[in-house]
Structure 1
Amino acid sequence: MTRRHAGWTSILLATVLALFMALSPVNAAEPKSGGILRFATIGEPPSLDIQVVASDLVSTIAQHIFETLFTFDSSFDVVPLLAEDYTITENGTLYTIKLRQGVLFHNGKEMTSADVVASLNRWKDVSSRGKIAGDYITSITAPDKYTVRLKLKSPFSPLLSFLAFQNTAAAIYPKEIAETAGVNPPKEYIGTGPYVFKEWRPDVYIRVTKNPNYAARTEAPNGFGGNRTGYVDEIRFIPVPEVATRIAGVQSGEYDFADQISTDQYARLKNDKKIQTIIVKPYGFGELIFNKTKGLMSNVKMRQAALAALDMGEIMQAAYGTPDFYDLEGSFYPKGTIWYSSVGTSNYNQKDIAKAKRLMQEAGYKGETFRVLTSMQYDYLYKMSLVAADQWEKAGFKVELQVVDWATLVQRRANPDQYDVFVTSHGFVPDPSLITFLSSQYAGWWADATKESVLNRFNSADVKTRSGVWGELQNLIYEQVPAIKTGDFFNLSIASPKFQGYVPSVWPALWTVWLDR
């Protein structure tokens, strides 16, 4: 079988089309080159190792520096980026990928198959998503300078989506960096992307500059695909943890763009002529991810009790203010997509304190501390934490709210001794296999034989069969409660009037942006 572009449009149907209809360029006009773009971020990332760190902030910044073999266009079709072409043969177990020639790393070295092999080998060893794919991959070889072959032990339907996704991404590093980094962040951030890493001044900014030797694709920009040549000379990612400071900075002209703005500010901001308001809808869903490997929540009845106690309406209203910015939906995918399923969702939004108390008693709960790990840097997550903690206390849990900065949360969630649940969110993804907590390697560690069996069937089946198997997986999520979905939410960003050409997305990509100075 030969495939040149993996079609996901039919899978995602109307919802994704509606999503990207909303993602039209902001105030599109004739672009101008030059200038410094100042992006006020929610904080500092722990590193820019995009292969390892499953953080939206890392993906947002690092995607400007590093690139993958494939990416997604505006319809969420998988399209080549560093790849030129590919074929899938031997009943879906052999992927032969032809690489683009003349692509230069930021150090001036040409990208070859040796770099790709080394990078993918590291990715499958250190990335939570890479480890899932790695369970199917038996070898990664380079028959020549511009060809890579991935041999699988059995078909893995979402492989191209895994190679295209920019969170815990299969990013291509120079061979010498990929081979020496191991599990640690690379000592140098060298990629092939449209911007070059220049400087990291802690608590001041991360600075990237336009790549003068960027090997752009010839196709027009399309989603994350096509030509990525940037317009601005420099981007500064400036950590600004306080929402009010981010808002004031854009209003004053100190910043050009700010993400993750409290939605309860929308009514006030939408009529402010000093800024633009930008809404991404759908955007993602709130998550409460349990530590299942040790401690209080390793007991499934305790997790079921925690789920039973929650009133999602109160949680989502506190986090997002108006229903214009959230939806109480138990399915992990919206209606209108092939992945929509109502199976298991009767356990969503139970608001049943009596049931929670009964399950806690059956679990033998004796008042042990329930440690909730959260951060104020994502304002909506912190508000979600406060309401959930209050509801859990009413059910009889002894809650300890641990409030840290986001970089610390990302580090702590990797240590099973330090928390019982952490509060986070998950961006909209084109394939359920990309949902992070499904991996037994991801923080929280859902390692269960039944789950692995169903997940293996899901990952090896054809599209029509996979939709039914996904219903089984969703039902298992509501039975075993590895994580709790609080509801769907939409994102609010703001920008200065001179900020032009932006195509809103879960991970803001700024290579289309220019400044109308």
Structure 2
Amino acid sequence: MKRRSLLMASAAASLPLPAVAQNAGARTLRFVPQANLTLLDPVFTTAAVTITHGYCVFDTLYGVDNQLRPRPQMAEGATTSEDGRTWLIRLRDGLRFHDGEPVRAQDCVPSLARWSRRDTFGQTLGAAVDAWEAADDRTIRIRLKRPFPRLLDAIAKPHSSPAFMMPERLARTDPATQVTEMVGSGPFRFLRDEYVSGSRATYARFDGYVPRTEAPEWTAGAKRANFDRLEWVIMPDPSTASAALQAGEIDWWEQALPDLLPVLSRSRNIRVQVQDPLGFIAMARFNHLHPPFNNLRLRQAVLSAVTQDDFMQAITAGDARAYRQCLAMFPCGMPGVKELGAEALRPPRDLGRARAAIREAGYAGEKVVIINPSDYPSIAPLGRITADLLQRLGMTVDLQETDWGTLLQRRLSREPVERGGWSLYHTNWPSASIANPAVNTTIRGQGAEGWTGWFENAEIERLTEAWLSASDDAEAQRLFDEVHRAALDAVPILPLGQYFVSTAYRSNLSGILPGSAAFFWNVRRA
């Protein structure tokens, strides 16, 4: 075996570190998440609130630093064979699950296998894997059919959905079935007896967690839990959450409503900061299985009518500093991303021409069912704006308002609208989670095995495979651009702009890290 990317931790990483002493009144961190926690399995769903929950309970073999580079987390490091077809990943010493059992390679192997059947990048990696194996209790062996140089990037991806490690008995759950028993090896234990969907979720510090010694960055480094308890308080009404934060009844509000930021910023007891400096991408997702949006020409006509400013101003209270037009199918500002959609997306828009294009596409008055989460302030306005736009374009629209948890369940339905299905819904993705062709779930053409909406495009899949195998940077950029152009032509989504969410917390907290989710390690109270 030859060492190639040794990303090793120091030997001291296995030494336990003392918990930070805190007085009894400061041992609970009270947090208001962006939405209600309804689905608990962070491999089963891409929902952001579930991913945040996942980082409390579970851990990953590799994380990423502030530059999104893979760094060892549960792993000591990795080696790969001379021909690039065998990888060995060695686990750190002292890792334990919340039930007291040691973390073994025999747990990680089925965890990786299950994740590789659910996740977009995981499916691409899984197609190249000949076997996931446990060489011994602490060594994971991955045998490949062909070299896969970006293997560590795949298992280190920070969002939607990360490769979380679970006990073997849970990891062997069918990928199409949710895991509901929450036993991980992360810094917090999930207190199932205290969980009430729509009201609260509670976690306790896992005293058996052994942090790394490196400084924490994004999802890598030391994950030191400085609170005995973490309580999520579900508050769908933004005014209630804002008042509770100002009164000191909660400590941290994950996504503060833009309209309320001026009031919060004036309080000396509250700090406001951008949650993720890379931003979020807002989008509308089509259902590609059924009319009317299984019609490519119709999707192209609707894209020609979109004005991103309309959507962005609605969710940022018109603050031009909080968003940008992003005329692309990838997040602007990320490596390799060019605004290749400028011609298709740049205003002003000609609605008369779009109406004519819709008629020419053969639209026959089919009902467009938009499912929209009324309890999700950064998404709810998007559905209402799209409903108005489609009505002005002459389409028959049925806007169905629901809560976010119900939407997450309903979007799994592949039935036509007459049998409870849907035509379109809106969501957002952290830029880091869709930054390149392999991870961009929203434009991947995996059909029935892909993201809800089930967009199928063999050419995008072929180009993505070629990008993963590119021999040099120039070739990789050429293929990246080809993937991008193919996505702009096929219109799997409507890109609605890039925006920057503010998080708000009490000024006696420190150590809140930027990232694509809320991270509760490193946070302490003064």
Question: Does TM-score exceed 0.5, indicating one fold?
Answer: yes
1:58 aligned partner: 50
| Preserved CA contact (<8 Å) 1:309 1:392 | no
User: 1:468 aligned to 454, 478, 498, which one?
Assistant: 478
Label 1:416 to 1:326 Cα distance change in 2 as closer, same or farther (>3 A).
Answer: same
Name the amino acid aligned to 1:153: K
1:266 aligned partner: 261
Structure 1 Cα separation of the partners of residues 443 and 124 of structure 2: 9
2:502 aligned partner: 492
Structure 2 Cα separation of the partners of residues 249 and 463 of structure 1: 53
Structure 2 Cα separation of the partners of residues 403 and 490 of structure 1: 25
Cα deviation, residue 90, structure 1: 4.5
2:395 aligned partner: 397
Structure 2 Cα separation of the partners of residues 460 and 493 of structure 1: 39
- Helix, strand or coil at the partner of 1:133: helix
2:427 aligned partner: 424
Name the amino acid aligned to 1:331: A
After alignment, is 378-387 or 251-260 more displaced? 378-387
What does 1:327-406 align with in structure 2 at a 5 Å threshold?
A: 327-332=324-329, 337-350=334-347, 351-406=349-404
| Preserved CA contact (<8 Å) 2:326 2:332 | no
What does 1:229-308 align with in structure 2 at a 5 Å threshold?
A: 229-280=224-275, 281-308=277-304
| Preserved CA contact (<8 Å) 1:338 1:467 | no
What does 1:109-258 align with in structure 2 at a 5 Å threshold?
A: 109-166=101-158, 167-180=160-173, 182-199=175-192, 200-258=195-253
| Preserved CA contact (<8 Å) 2:289 2:453 | yes
After alignment, is 145-154 or 58-67 more displaced? 145-154
1:88 aligned partner: 80
Structure 2 Cα separation of the partners of residues 218 and 511 of structure 1: 13
Quote the sequence identity (%).
26
| Preserved CA contact (<8 Å) 1:124 1:133 | yes
Cα deviation, residue 182, structure 1: 4.6
After alignment, is 81-90 or 178-187 more displaced? 178-187
- Helix, strand or coil at the partner of 1:438: coil
Structure 1 Cα separation of the partners of residues 355 and 80 of structure 2: 53
| Preserved CA contact (<8 Å) 2:87 2:143 | yes
Structure 2 Cα separation of the partners of residues 183 and 238 of structure 1: 29
After alignment, is 143-152 or 231-240 more displaced? 143-152
Structure 2 Cα separation of the partners of residues 371 and 358 of structure 1: 22
Label 1:46 to 1:159 Cα distance change in 2 as closer, same or farther (>3 A).
Answer: farther
1:312 aligned partner: 308
Cα deviation, residue 466, structure 1: 2.1
- Helix, strand or coil at the partner of 2:500: strand
2:5 aligned partner: 4
1:22 aligned partner: none
TM-superposition CA deviations, 1:187-240 (whole Å, max 9, x none): 421111111111312332111101111121122323321111210111011211
- Helix, strand or coil at the partner of 1:506: coil
TM-superposition CA deviations, 1:359-414 (whole Å, max 9, x none): 21222112111111221222121112222221221111222112111111111112
| Preserved CA contact (<8 Å) 1:437 1:444 | no
Structure 2 Cα separation of the partners of residues 511 and 136 of structure 1: 34
| Preserved CA contact (<8 Å) 2:217 2:513 | no
Name the amino acid aligned to 1:117: V
| Structure with greater contact order relative to length (CA < 8 Å, sep ≥ 6) | 1
| Preserved CA contact (<8 Å) 1:345 1:475 | no
Normalised to the residue count of structure 1, the TM-score between the two structures is: 0.90
1:505 aligned partner: 515
Structure 1 Cα separation of the partners of residues 243 and 156 of structure 2: 36
| Preserved CA contact (<8 Å) 2:284 2:495 | yes
Segments of structure 2 that go 5 or more residues without pairing to the other structure are 9-19, 416-420
- Helix, strand or coil at the partner of 2:442: helix
| Preserved CA contact (<8 Å) 1:371 1:421 | yes
| Preserved CA contact (<8 Å) 2:58 2:164 | yes
Structure 2 Cα separation of the partners of residues 194 and 353 of structure 1: 52
Name the amino acid aligned to 2:458: A
1:438 aligns with 2:443: yes
Structure 2 Cα separation of the partners of residues 122 and 335 of structure 1: 31
Normalised to the residue count of structure 2, the TM-score between the two structures is: 0.89
TM-superposition CA deviations, 1:34-74 (whole Å, max 9, x none): 51001112332232211111011011112011011100112
| Preserved CA contact (<8 Å) 2:326 2:339 | no
Name the amino acid aligned to 1:384: L
Label 1:336 to 1:403 Cα distance change in 2 as closer, same or farther (>3 A).
Answer: closer
TM-superposition CA deviations, 1:158-186 (whole Å, max 9, x none): 32222112432211111112124553222
Cα deviation, residue 80, structure 1: 0.5
Cα deviation, residue 136, structure 1: 1.8
- Helix, strand or coil at the partner of 2:378: helix
2:418 aligned partner: none
| Preserved CA contact (<8 Å) 2:35 2:236 | yes
RMSD between superposed Cα atoms in Å? 2.1
Runs of 4+ in structure 1 displaced over 6 angstroms?
Answer: none
Q: How many residues are treated as equivalent by the alignment?
A: 494
Name the amino acid aligned to 1:405: D
| Preserved CA contact (<8 Å) 1:310 1:352 | no
Segments of structure 1 that go 5 or more residues without pairing to the other structure are 8-29
What does 1:10-25 align with in structure 2 at a 5 Å threshold?
A: none
Cα deviation, residue 334, structure 1: 6.0
Cα deviation, residue 264, structure 1: 2.8
- Helix, strand or coil at the partner of 1:61: helix
